[in-house]
């Protein structure tokens, strides 16, 4: 069955027209869905009783509470959700003083196949609907606490572009949650055909998973490089203005002896020349059976300082939730059989 949650006002207007309801009822339904987070038609008391009955018969519930929570020693919480189709996905809630980040998934699994990522190892089961993406926000006990949301969980967001755009529209529109786009960052491994539309239709921040500036070396750990070279991604981004509120950043997992040398620093600077950006260095979190290792802390700091000295704003991301496998690259539900 269809769900009401996740639909835009235009889609809700089409529903109303099909059910013989007045057009303004679409706005009423949107207020119930996205301001009150009430998706049961029978509870939408400003709709006619007969319309509520018909909507309840036609549309299924979309929102459901997480089925499990794991709590890290550092306060990070990893939530397990079950989708209506029976797949499992994970999200991570990361409190940090007055700030809190919620990391959400856009797919159950992922087909990008990045060698350093646990999600990539399990393959793709299905893409999530906008409702399933939003459910990871509105069904949490901490629903009202996140100061920012990052689409950096399971899946490749631009491989599920239509549903991700629909979810972003709900989050940032006046008729939806009304959030500022600056509260949201969407990560991509570099799905080049989807990037122009994403940049044109949203104002949220963009993060590109880079991890190696040399195409041949990147292809060994990120198969996406063979389809859409990161040099082409950089060339596209160079045409956009990131000098105002919207930011672009590049994610860079350091792998000892593979992408942490001075020549990688030099090539990063060449590749990103002309793009106003930052680089986020991420420590590699060990995956069972993986041949990769994180460099020593002093090497990570040297790599950051070398990039900073060449004029690229570079930060080292704090590792959070590693003890519950909620840190970057560790989300996976491959073993779930419940």
Task: Compute CA distances 243 → 168, 249, 312, whole Å.
Answer: 22, 12, 14
Residue 166 has which token pair? 């629909």
H-state helical runs in the chain: 9-18, 25-34, 49-58, 118-122, 130-138, 161-172, 195-201, 215-221, 224-227, 230-237, 262-271, 297-309
Q: Is 90 a catalytic residue?
A: yes
Q: Is 225 a catalytic residue?
A: no
Please list the residues that pair with 187 across neighbouring strands. Answer: 207
| Chain Cα centroid distance, residue 333 | 16
Q: Which of 39, 90, 156, 225 is catalytic?
A: 90
> Where do we find the tokens 């036609």?
58
* Alpha-carbon span 108 to 124, nearest angstrom: 6
Residue 90's closest CA among 103, 75, 74?
103
329: left (phi over 0), alpha (psi -120 to 50) or beta: left
H-state helical runs in 19-97: 25-34, 49-58
Residue 180's closest CA among 246, 268, 233, 275?
246
* Alpha-carbon span 268 to 213, nearest angstrom: 6
SS3 192: helix
Task: Compute CA distances 27 → 35, 53, 77, 108, 205, whole Å.
Answer: 11, 18, 35, 31, 28
Q: Which of 16, 103, 277, 328 is catalytic?
A: 328
Residue 331 has which token pair? 């989300």
Active-site annotation, residues: 90, 328
């Amino acid at each position: 069955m269809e769900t009401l949650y996740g639909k835009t006002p235009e889609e809700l207007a089409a529903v109303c027209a099909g059910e013989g309801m007045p057009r303004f009822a679409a706005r009423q339904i949107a207020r119930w869905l996205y301001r009150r987070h009430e998706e049961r038609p029978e509870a939408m008391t400003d709709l006619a009783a007969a319309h509520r009955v018909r909507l309840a018969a036609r549309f299924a519930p979309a929102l459901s509470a997480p089925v499990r929570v794991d709590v890290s020693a550092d306060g990070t919480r990893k939530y397990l959700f079950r989708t209506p189709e029976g797949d499992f996905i994970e999200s991570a809630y990361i409190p940090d003083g007055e700030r809190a980040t919620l990391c959400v998934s856009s797919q159950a699994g992922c087909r990008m196949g990045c060698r350093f990522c646990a999600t990539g190892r399990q393959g793709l089961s299905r893409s999530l609907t906008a409702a399933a993406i939003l459910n990871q926000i509105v069904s949490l006990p901490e629903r009202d606490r996140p100061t920012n949301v990052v689409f950096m969980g399971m899946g490749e967001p631009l491989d599920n572009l239509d549903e991700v755009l629909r979810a972003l529209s709900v989050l940032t529109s006046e008729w939806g949650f009304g959030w500022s786009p600056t509260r949201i960052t969407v990560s991509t491994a570099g799905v080049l055909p989807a990037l122009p539309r994403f940049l044109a239709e949203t104002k949220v921040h963009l993060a590109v998973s880079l991890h190696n500036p040399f195409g041949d070396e990147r292809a060994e750990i990120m198969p996406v490089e063979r389809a859409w070279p990161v040099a082409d991604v950089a060339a596209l981004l160079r045409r956009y203005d990131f000098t105002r509120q919207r930011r672009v950043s590049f994610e860079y997992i350091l792998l000892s002896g593979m992408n942490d040398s001075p020549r990688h620093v030099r090539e990063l600077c060449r590749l990103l020349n002309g793009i106003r950006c930052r680089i986020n260095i991420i420590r590699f979190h060990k995956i069972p059976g993986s041949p990769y290792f994180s460099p020593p802390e002093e090497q990570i700091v040297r790599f950051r300082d070398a990039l900073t000295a060449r004029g690229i704003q570079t930060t080292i991301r704090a590792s959070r939730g590693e003890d519950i496998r909620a840190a970057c690259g560790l989300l996976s539900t491959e073993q779930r059989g419940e």
